[in-house]
Chain A
């Protein structure tokens, strides 16, 4: 299945795996089993660049590399979702918000207390 989204994921994972700059032609050859046209590879790379996952240098031919590791991107996202900075609102429905240590202790006691009540009844 060669949907654009799926291709983007495959190309990005490939760039993460090789961990060095790669030309578009080399990428096309690496994905030879999928029979991608060079224009398709360029489309995918451009889209990844627009989303901030890939950058290229000014060499000829252009070399593409991944910006940041998978872990970097996950960490960024988690920081946004967990932290108070920026548009935390966007991920409205975080299951439980941030809680301090004292409150955690109190919550545990609440839960334990309710368990005892149920057992005593």
Chain B
């Protein structure tokens, strides 16, 4: 229990933990996201890749805040819970407290507040925009045929556009330009793609990366992670749309729909909104037309185990000294 004659040797545990967490944080801030963003296997299994990205994001935040916190509180105890308790109850430190301990504590608090605050703010702002769009759509457009789970609205606009607004009552919006541009099976494929986004709550997978890109504009990994997740979500929706499609050549149908929409949107776009997908559309079309073998089960599991391990390592590092 805390309070029993402290042996000075034990106080090396926390600095070592801080170092380990710092190394992990550095790995997750640069080399790991870079490697995953460039990996080609992710196209063969977007779902597993999405799980990996979530683990990287969560473990990255946990390890950097954990490293700072552990270093900042190191003089107060042998484990984080103990040191935290001593610090909160204003007990004297067991070791002299230097300036860098205070700096680390402050940084940990600032970073935690910023990441959580921006996440919250981003969520609130997005929800507000969605509500505004929904209100506008409900007033401007006559309701389409109400289907089992989603309401489909037809928006009178020449550009071929399809999107969905997630929420308790999700909305699926098709433009009249889209309906004119595509044939029946292609339109079905587009609707299946959008339904997949809604059914799998892809907006929630993307939200933390949107927020953290805003919170950490200096970190190239945040930008890279966001773009990778955005593209993977589209690939995943393509895959789900294929399973829902009944046509003879579902892959070609969906690819043709993507190309038709990409071509049709070009002339209608406001200037300055062009060419921002960075080839992601081409990647989608390619993997539809020339599908790679699905990832072997073993590789799938290995990737998932890695993702879980990534989350467990910082958690264990934070708690383990308390159990020793």
Contact = CB atoms under 8 A, between A and B. Distances in A.
Chain A partners chain B: yes
Interface of A: 5, 8-9, 12, 48, 51, 53, 70, 73-84, 86-87, 89-104, 106-108, 110-111, 114-115, 118
Contacts of B165: 90-91
A90 B281 CA distance: 20
B272 A84 contact: yes
Given A74-B155, A78-B157, A96 B265 contact: yes
Interface stretch (B73-81, B95-103, B133-141): B133-141
B270 A96 contact: no
A91 B274 CA distance: 18
Chain B interface, DSSP helix/strand/loop, else mixed: helix
A1 to B, nearest CB: 12
Contacts of A94: 161-163
Contacts of A70: 140
A104 to B, nearest CB: 5
Interface in B179-238: 190, 193-194, 197-198, 202-203, 206, 210, 233, 237
Interface in B121-144: 125-126, 129-130, 132-133, 135-140, 142
B263 A98 contact: no
A98 B275 contact: yes
Chain A interface, DSSP helix/strand/loop, else mixed: helix
Contacts of A82: 159, 161, 265, 268-270, 273
A82 B268 CA distance: 9
Contacts of A90: 126, 129-130, 133, 165
Interface string B252-291: 1001111101110110111011111101111001100110
